[in-house]
Structure 1
């Protein structure tokens, strides 16, 4: 990629999620939940007792939850000290990662697009996932192609949804 990638914004999460096929959006008090086939893949979480500032104890009010394919993908994201992703004990054993909206600018727009797309792939039916991946191979450049993606980390498995 030539030059520096644009920093991500919260609006990128909404844009990419809404652009994915077969997506429904539900809103609880202005906190959207994006679903495919009735399964959530990204949602904006309200203040909860498990996600808080360790210095002040103040609950975070800007947490975005993204599904991931498996615990390996989750570990690769949350265990990287340079990563803005985190988890809480509430999400132990749950294939998802958390990201504060206030830290989304630490990621590029392409990284957020990949994250949302992978979240969608982890929840979409096998047929929907195959159809969407085939559209990428056919040249639909609105999205980051799996072939252009950076692997999530050493020893990581295949791109989620590609089985």
Structure 2
């Protein structure tokens, strides 16, 4: 059986299943927060993310935190849909377009979102969640 492709609705389902996560609004777009720290949010169109085909600002960019620059490079340099822009140089986050989520499996998306949550959640909560 083939792994199911990720869908937009998976983001909220995965994020909200993690301990102490709430959905907030960030400029009219969803943001997922643990103890007042955002780990994933839908970005507003910005000049640093322009569609190469249309020249228009991307309307569907999602920002996801990563643990460090090594994790960022691994995602961006891999075969997946992850990318970055100069605006995010030195910042521990990757970007993905909603339209490209189907290039990931639901399991891959869940792993990245869970790792993003772990970068912002208190260490004790992360330890309890992973049972370490």
TM score, norm. by length of structure 2: 0.95
1:61 paired residue number:
59
Choose which of 21, 24, 37 in structure 1 pairs with 2:22: 24
Pair 1:99 & 2:96 matched:
yes
Bigger radius of gyration among the two: 1
Deviations along 1:122-141, one digit per CA (max 9) or x if unpaired, are 1111101001101xx7xxxx
Residue range with higher mean Cα deviation, 89-98 or 52-61: 52-61
TM-fit CA distance, 1:29: 4.8
Q: Does 1:123 align with 2:120?
A: yes
CA distance in 1, matches of 2:127, 2:55: 44
Structure 1 unaligned spans of 5+: 138-163
With normalisation by structure 1, the TM-score equals 0.78
Unaligned stretches of 5+ residues in structure 2: none
* Pairwise CA RMSD: 1.2
Higher RCO by CA contacts (8 Å cutoff, separation 6 or greater): 2
Runs of 4+ that moved beyond 2 A: none
Q: How many residue pairs end up in the alignment? A: 132
